[in-house]
Amino acid sequence: MKFFVDTANVEQIRQAKAWGLCDGVTTNPTLVAREGRDFREVIEEICSIVDGPVSAEAVTTEADSILAEARELSSWAPNIVVKIPLIPEGIKAVRMCAQEGIKTNVTLCFSPLQALIAAKAGASYISPFVGRLDDISHQGMELVHQILQIYQNYGFQTEVIVASVRNPLHVVEAAMMGAHIATVPFDVLAKFFNHPLTDVGLKRFLADWEKLQQEIKSS
């Protein structure tokens, strides 16, 4: 399973990479706005840090203008994936991008039929937003289950990015279901390490080692 980091903050990306937990990055206009930096500059910097795919979002809503943006964005770095919203004009643009070999991440997916439409259009990735569904009392992870089943039924190559992740349990469920990728905010990623028994156990080991009054020296 791949972990993408859902952020436009380069320090967070560097830290996640050092942990070996950054197989790619997803951004959106909200995340980029949070950094207050020039869009192209921040995307190019992220692309230079990350070996895997980096999603940068198109910000128009007509197929032709989305395609023009997609061509521009994908010229910035070889690992750019163009994020396109799941609207009719967006799906038209996804089809055109696929014909040109431009990779796409179809975003704002909230239903299995939307995901099916995206796959038929040739999307490289689909991003079901599980947290936002949970927020309105729907089972976000149930959507992921449905998409994986549908894609498996028909052999679609579109990879499922579990997005709008709010907590580590979303990621555990995604892994149990066999989702290809989870894109995870940095604060949630950092929680992957946590277990109180790890902290208690380490404290005890270090205290016992201290009693020995020894060092591990290089020979």
Q: How many CA atoms lie within 13 A of 184 on its CB side?
A: 26
Shortest reach from residue 218's CB to ligand E4P, in Å: 45
Interaction between residue 84 and ligand E4P (CB under 6 A): no
Query: Minimal CA–CA distance to 143: which of 130, 156, 153, 154?
Result: 130
- Cβ–Cβ < 8 Å for 186, 16: yes
Among 42, 118, 163, 179, indicate the residue that binds ligand E4P (CB under 6 A).
163
Ranges within 6-65 binding ligand E4P (CB under 6 A): 6, 26, 28
Q: Which of 83, 103, 120, 211 is catalytic?
A: 83
Distances (CA, A) of 8 to 28, 54, 135, 210: 8, 10, 23, 42
Interaction between residue 2 and ligand E4P (CB under 6 A): no
**Distance (Å, rounded) from C-alpha 166 to C-alpha 181?**
15
Interaction between residue 132 and ligand E4P (CB under 6 A): yes
Q: Based on CB atoms, which residue is closest to ligand E4P, 74 or 107?
A: 107
Does the annotation mark 2 as catalytic? Answer: no
| Among the residue ranges 109-117, 125-133, 186-194, 211-219, the one whose residues contact ligand E4P (CB under 6 A) | 125-133
**Distance (Å, rounded) from C-alpha 158 to C-alpha 106?**
10
| Among the residue ranges 123-131, 174-182, 201-209, 211-219, the one whose residues contact ligand E4P (CB under 6 A) | 123-131
7 conformational bin, left if phi > 0, alpha if psi -120 to 50, beta if neither: beta
- Residues forming contacts to ligand E4P in the complex (CB under 6 A) are 6, 26, 28, 107, 127, 129, 131-132, 163-164, 183
Residues annotated as catalytic (active site), given as ranges = 83
